[in-house]
Structure 1
Amino acid sequence: MIYLVRHGEAAAGWGDHPDPGLSELGQKQAAAAANALMALGATSAISSPMLRCRETALPFEQRMGLVATVVPEISEIDTPEGIDERATWLRTLMAGDWHGGSHSFVDWRRAMLDFVSGLPDQTVVFSHFVAINALVGMIEADPRVVVFRPGHCSVTQLTRANGPLSVAEYGSESATRVL
């Protein structure tokens, strides 16, 4: 099993701060996620370099006595150059599919799936809403940008039943607003 964990609630909106840490609620969510991951048998971790993911990984790292490997392959989707209003751009992207628009992000999605596919079982991946959706969309050949709405610190489980990754269980969902 590979566990995809969306970061906890951020202290600032996506359009307001380029790299916010966690809110007080987000820190509590991260602690609860660490307990759940330990109960699932997770033994190693990787994290997006974004602060909200690093802070979400921290309780798991402390309980397990390890440090998550920080990798850019599972980071947040990059805003294309020339976009001034990030939140508006992201809302528009999330309403569509990967085949629309002027930038398809094919390379980003493929590199992320290739990277996660090479991880050993029982690895936790601390990542982001769009990145997790891109992964499960690639796995399930679903072209929508938003396949499901993972809540903060939700745990989506991937398995390798017959070789390639498949989604064993989606994490808990909640409404997500892009601010």
Structure 2
Amino acid sequence: MQTLFLIRHGKPAAVWGEADDDPGLDDAGRAQAEAARDHLLSLPEDQRPSRVVSSPLRRCRETAAPTAEALGVEIEIDPGVGEIPTPAALSAEDRPGWLREAFQGRWTEIRGDLDYEQWRRRAADSLLVRGGTAVFSHYVAINAVMSLLEGEDRVLVFRPDHASITTLGTDGSRLSLVSRGREASTGVL
């Protein structure tokens, strides 16, 4: 079994429904990104990640950057660990309400343009070959993976804090939970 680290992005400068569709990090988020890097580098050398993968969104790329720089590697972009796709017909103002509604239900009940049960399985599948990697992702994508690992159909099973590091194991065909990252309240709900 190889270890991988699933890390929620640091605190963004804006939230869903605000003017910026792809905000970067605020000052607290940048400090969280550095703290995540410091934690990963504090691990024994044989347990540190050797690769860095990020969602395409700016807040994840900016959270991943200090770790990638410290490891001397490029950030690999993977849409498979990206944010949950929202229905095309939703306006930016309607996204927070849609997400709050989704969090109250089950993966098979989310209304939208695609099969969200398949989306969550693809998110988890994208991690299977990521042993030895720090993967920077999002609240919902992390919940997608955690709900599968826990055998849950509920959308919200975990409240990862900004820059929370969850440790998983993979043998290339199966994921397992090693340890949950830090949980906190969030502005999502």
When normalised by structure 1's length, the TM-score is 0.93
Does residue 116 in structure 1 map to residue 135 in structure 2? Answer: no
Alpha-carbon contact 1:45-1:69 (below 8 Å) kept:
yes
Contact 1:27 1:56 in 2 (8 A): yes
Counterpart code for 1:137: S
- What code does the residue aligned with 2:42 have? A
Identity of aligned residues (%): 41
Structure 1 CA distance for aligned equivalents of residues 119 and 34 of structure 2:
30
Corresponding residue for residue 139 of structure 1: 149
Distance in 1 of aligned mates of 2:144 and 2:187 = 18
RMSD: 1.7
How many residues were matched structurally? Answer: 178
Unpaired runs of 5+ residues, structure 2, are none
Q: Deviations over 1:135-154 (max 9, x none)?
A: 11112211111111000000
Q: CA deviation at 1:163?
A: 5.8
Q: Which is worse superposed, 20-29 or 8-17? A: 8-17
Which stretch shows the higher mean deviation, 50-59 or 107-116?
107-116
Does residue 93 of the first structure (1) align with residue 95 of the second (2)? no
Distance 1:35 1:117, change over 3 A: same
CA distance in 1 between partners of 2:58 and 2:175 (Å) = 27
Structure-1 separation of matches of 2:172 and 2:24:
38
Counterpart for residue 182 of structure 2 = 172
* Per-residue CA distance 1:35-93 (angstroms, 9 max, x = gap): 11122312211000000000000110111111110111110001112122011111111
How far did residue 101 of structure 1 move?
A: 3.5
2:32 is aligned with 1:22: no
- Structure 1 stretches (4+) deviating beyond 6 angstroms? none
Sort the Cα spacing of 1:160 and 1:101 in 2 relative to 1 into closer, same or farther, 3 A.
closer
For structure 1, list consecutive stretches of 5 or more residues without a partner in the other structure: none
1:60 corresponds to 2:62: no
TM-score by length of 2: 0.89
